[in-house]
Chains A and B, each alone.
Chain A
C-alpha cells in the first residue's frame, strides 16, 4: 500500500504526465483540449474537502491522502468462468466487459447490432470513428465540477461508447460490466462512458460495477448521456464493488424535447460510494424518473447526490430514493431540484425514505428545492424512521414472529424500489440478493407467507 501523504495532488499530476502519451485520442483536437483542461482543473481544485457544501457529509481524505495509481495496461486476466457467476445470466444483451477499466474483447459479446446502433470501446471508436465521439465527449459533463471529474477527463483510458442514430431502437439492453481485480498497490480506474441517442432512438443501458475479490481500489467513472428529441433511455447502475473499495460516479444527462430518461441506481457494496446524477431538462416536455436503493452495512458510506435542472417549460421529474442501513453504515442523500425562470408548468416530485436498523448507523438527508418560476408543482419529502408499528402488529397478530415480521417489512420497504425496474432479468436476481441480505438467507417461499 502506498504511504499516506498530506497533499497527493503532485503525485497525481506526475501520474498524468507519465501516462499522457499512452492515452487514447491524442490525434483528436477536442480530446486533447479536454485532457489539458482536466489536468489544469485538477491542479487547481484538488480533491474535494468537507468544507465544500457538496461534500459536507462525505469525507474523501482517504482517497486524497494517497496515490491510487492509474491502471496502465491490463493488470490481470479474468476468465469467463470467474466472471460468469457475477453476471446477470438470463439477460440477453449486447455485452461489453472492462477489466480494470480496459476493454476485454474476449469476455465481451456484443453480438449483432440493429441498424443505426453502435456499441463499442471508447478507445477503439476514438481511433476509428472519432467524429461520433468528438461532438459530445466533455460537452455534457463539465470538467471542473470537482477534482474527480477533472481527474477523469485528464486520465480516462477507455469506457463504453453507445450511439443510436435517429429512430434506431436497441431491442436488447446494452450491458456494460466493469470488473476490478485489484492489485498489490491501490489502483485507480477512470472509465468514461458516452451514450448518445439521436431523435426518437430507444435504448436500455446497464452499468454494473463489481469486484472479483476484496481488493482496495478506486473507481472514478464519468458517464455522459445526450438524449435527442423524443428519445428514450432507461439506465441501470448497479454498484457491487468490494467492501474495501471507493467508487466515485458522476453522471451527466442532457435531455432534448419530449425525451424520457429513467434511471435505476442500486448501491450494495463499496466502502465509500458517491453517485452524482445531474440531469438537465434542456427542452420542453422532457421527463425523467430516478429510482435509487442503497442497502449498506458494516462501515460502508454511500452518498447519492442528484440534481434535476428544469431549464425549460413543462418538464416532469420524479425521484424515489430509499435506503436501509445497518452496522456502522452511513448514508447521505442530497436531492436538488432547480426550476429556472422559464420553466413554467414544471412538475417535480422527490422522496427519500430511510430505515435505520442499528444504533451506529447514520443518515444525513438534504432535499433541496430552488424555484424561480411560479406556475409549478414541486414537492419533496424525506423521512428517517423505523418500521410502522401498525404493520408490525398486523404481522404479529397473524402469528409471525417479531424478527421475521421486521425482516419482511424491511424487505418490502426496499423492494419497493426494485419493483419499478422493467427488466425482470435484472430485477429478480437483485430481489434474490435482497432476500439474502434482509431475510437472513430465507426466501419468501420458505417463510410460507406467499
Chain B
C-alpha cells in the first residue's frame, strides 16, 4: 500500500485551491464592539427605527451572555473587540444598476469560483444573490421572480422595501435571546438574503447565494430569512469558499426558515471555507444557528449540508415541527481533515401530531480531524404518532483522528416511534483490495467508497451541488487511507 500512502500524503497536503485575495477597497468600521458601533452600523445601512431597536435589544442581551463551552471543539478564544463589524465594497453609495457597473475585480472573483453570473445565468438556470463580504452587489433573475410575486433580495433591501414582512418574521424562529452567537448576530448582522414565496407559488428555479468572506479581520454576520407562504415551494442553495487567510475569521450566521401550511422549503449548503493550514493555523470559525419552523399543517423543511471546510464548525440546523403532519429532514456530510474540528448535527422538535423526521448524518474524519455528531430528537406530549429515524455513520481514515456521536433522545409521548443507530468504521482493506483487483487505482477506489458512503446525502442535493460536493470530497479525501 506504499503508493496509496504517498497519495494520501500528497492529497491531504494539497493546498486550498480557492485561496486567493481580491484587492477591492473596503469601507470598514474600526474594530471593536459597543452600542455606538451597533448604532453606526444601523445608520450606515439607513435602517428603520425598529431594526435599530431590535439590534440594541440583542446587543444588551449579548452582554449578559457567556460563550458556550459544551461543544466537542477546542479553539483559541475569540477577541470580539478585535473584529470590524462592518465592511462594504466602496462603491456602495452608487450601487451598480447592472452587471456592467460591477467592479470587474469582483466579477473576476466569481469567475474563478465558477459562479454563473453573466451569460451563464440562463444556461445554469440559477439566480444568484452574490454576497461579497457584507453587502450584496449583484442580484440576478429578479424580474423573472418578481413577476411571480417572489421576493428574492438582500436582507438590507428587504428591510427597506418590505419592512412589514421583516418585522413580522424576523427573530420568530431564532429569537435574539437564543444563544451567544445568534444574539451577537442579531446585534451586528451585516446583510444576507431574504426570500418570500407567496401563497401557492412554486419557485421555478433554485435560488442561490454564494457567500464569500474577503476582507481580513472582518467577521461575517449573515442573516437569512426565508418564508414560504401557504402551499409554496422553494429550494435554496447556499455555497461558499473563502480565500486563504492567516488569521481566524469568525462567521456567526443565522438562518431562519418559516414554512406555513403545506409549504416546502429545501435548504442546501455546500460549505468549503478555508479550514486552516496543515497545522491548523488560520481557518474560519463557523458558529452558525440555522433553524426552520413548520408553522402550518403538512409543512416540510429539509436541510442538506456538505461541510468540508472551516477550522471549527459548530452548526445544528434544526426543525420545529409545529404543524400536524409536518416533516423535517436533515441530510449531512461533514468532513474533518488535518486539524479541522466539526461539531454538527440537528434538532428535531416534534410538537404537532403525526410529525415525521429523518436524520441521515455521515461523518468523515481524516488526518487529525475531530468530527462530532450532536443531535436532539424531542417528542413533546402532544405529538401523537411522531416518527423519527436517525442514522449516523462515521468513517475514520488514519489513527490520529476522532469520530464522536452525541445523540439526545427525549420522548414524552407513548405513541412515538424513535429510532437511532450509529456505526463507526474505517474503509476495509478487503473493500480496497476488491476494487483494486478490478483495476482501480487506490485513489479511485477510496474515492468510490467514500462517495458510496455519502450517497444517501448526495442524492438529496440539487444537481449542480451534487457535482460540486463530490468534487470537493474528492479533493479533500481521495486516497486518504493507508
CB of B37 within 8 Å of the partner chain: no
Contacting residue for B424 out of A354, A376, A384, CB 8 A:
A376
Q: A362 contacts which chain B residues (CB < 8 A)?
A: 410-412
CB of A69 within 8 Å of the partner chain: no
Of all chain A residues, the one with the shortest Cβ separation from B371 is A371
**Would B405 and A380 count as touching, CB distance under 8 A?**
yes
CB of B394 within 8 Å of the partner chain: yes
**Would B416 and A374 count as touching, CB distance under 8 A?**
no
Give me the 10 closest cross-chain CB pairs, A-B, nearest first: A356-B414, A374-B396, A378-B424, A385-B417, A369-B405, A381-B421, A384-B411, A379-B423, A384-B418, A382-B420
**Would A363 and B426 count as touching, CB distance under 8 A?**
no
For chain B, which range describes its interface: under 10, 10 to 19, 20 to 34, or 35 or more residues? 35 or more
Contacting residue for A381 out of B400, B414, B419, CB 8 A:
B419
Given A357-B414, A374-B426, A379 and B421 touching (CB < 8 A)?
yes
CB of A372 within 8 Å of the partner chain: yes
Given A371-B404, A376-B426, A386 and B396 touching (CB < 8 A)?
no
CB of A364 within 8 Å of the partner chain: yes
**Would A386 and B414 count as touching, CB distance under 8 A?**
yes
A368 to chain B, nearest CB (A): 5
A-B contact pairs, 26 of them (CB 8 A): A356-B411, A357-B414, A359-B381, A362-B412, A363-B409, A363-B410, A364-B410, A366-B406, A366-B408, A367-B405, A368-B407, A369-B403, A370-B72, A370-B402, A371-B394, A371-B404, A374-B401, A376-B424, A376-B425, A378-B423, A380-B422, A381-B420, A382-B407, A383-B417, A383-B419, A384-B416
Q: B408 contacts which chain A residues (CB < 8 A)?
A: 364, 366
For chain A, which range describes its interface: under 10, 10 to 19, 20 to 34, or 35 or more residues? 35 or more
Given A370-B404, A373-B399, A376-B396, A382 and B409 touching (CB < 8 A)?
yes
CB of B280 within 8 Å of the partner chain: no
Given A374-B401, A382-B407, A367 and B417 touching (CB < 8 A)?
no
CA distance A384 to B377 in the complex (A): 11
**Would B417 and A368 count as touching, CB distance under 8 A?**
no
CA distance A55 to B319 in the complex (A): 26
Q: A371 contacts which chain B residues (CB < 8 A)?
A: 394, 396, 402-404, 424
Flag B370-397 by CB within 8 Å of A: 1 or 0 each: 0000000001010000000000001011
CB of A341 within 8 Å of the partner chain: yes
**Would B414 and A361 count as touching, CB distance under 8 A?**
yes
Contacting residue for A374 out of B398, B409, B410, B417, CB 8 A:
B398
Q: B401 contacts which chain A residues (CB < 8 A)?
A: 372, 374
**Would A367 and B422 count as touching, CB distance under 8 A?**
yes
CA distance A384 to B379 in the complex (A): 10
Q: B425 contacts which chain A residues (CB < 8 A)?
A: 376-378
CB of B70 within 8 Å of the partner chain: yes
Q: A367 contacts which chain B residues (CB < 8 A)?
A: 405, 407, 420, 422
Of all chain B residues, the one with the shortest Cβ separation from A381 is B421
The winner among A354, A361, A364, A369 for most chain B CB atoms within 10 A is A369
Q: A384 contacts which chain B residues (CB < 8 A)?
A: 379, 409, 411, 416-418
CB of B451 within 8 Å of the partner chain: no
Identify the A interface with B (CB < 8 A): 53, 57, 341, 344, 354, 356-359, 361-386
**Would B418 and A383 count as touching, CB distance under 8 A?**
yes
CA distance A397 to B460 in the complex (A): 41
CA distance A379 to B4 in the complex (A): 28
CB of B413 within 8 Å of the partner chain: yes
Of all chain B residues, the one with the shortest Cβ separation from A368 is B406
CA distance A365 to B400 in the complex (A): 29
CA distance A385 to B390 in the complex (A): 14
Q: A385 contacts which chain B residues (CB < 8 A)?
A: 416-419
CB of B109 within 8 Å of the partner chain: no
Of all chain A residues, the one with the shortest Cβ separation from B394 is A371
The winner among A359, A364, A375, A385 for most chain B CB atoms within 10 A is A385
CB of B415 within 8 Å of the partner chain: yes
Of all chain B residues, the one with the shortest Cβ separation from A378 is B424
**Would B399 and A341 count as touching, CB distance under 8 A?**
yes
CA distance A362 to B380 in the complex (A): 10
CA distance A269 to B381 in the complex (A): 25
**Would A365 and B402 count as touching, CB distance under 8 A?**
no
CA distance A361 to B413 in the complex (A): 7
**Would B402 and A386 count as touching, CB distance under 8 A?**
no
CA distance A261 to B157 in the complex (A): 66
Flag B425-438 by CB within 8 Å of A: 1 or 0 each: 11000000000000
Q: B397 contacts which chain A residues (CB < 8 A)?
A: 374
B376 to chain A, nearest CB (A): 9
Of all chain B residues, the one with the shortest Cβ separation from A376 is B424
Q: A53 contacts which chain B residues (CB < 8 A)?
A: 70
Of all chain B residues, the one with the shortest Cβ separation from A325 is B414
Of all chain B residues, the one with the shortest Cβ separation from A332 is B410
Q: A356 contacts which chain B residues (CB < 8 A)?
A: 411, 413-414, 416
Of all chain B residues, the one with the shortest Cβ separation from A354 is B411
Of all chain A residues, the one with the shortest Cβ separation from B481 is A374
Of all chain B residues, the one with the shortest Cβ separation from A377 is B425
Of all chain A residues, the one with the shortest Cβ separation from B418 is A384
The winner among A359, A375, A376, A382 for most chain B CB atoms within 10 A is A382
A10 to chain B, nearest CB (A): 29
**Would A383 and B422 count as touching, CB distance under 8 A?**
no
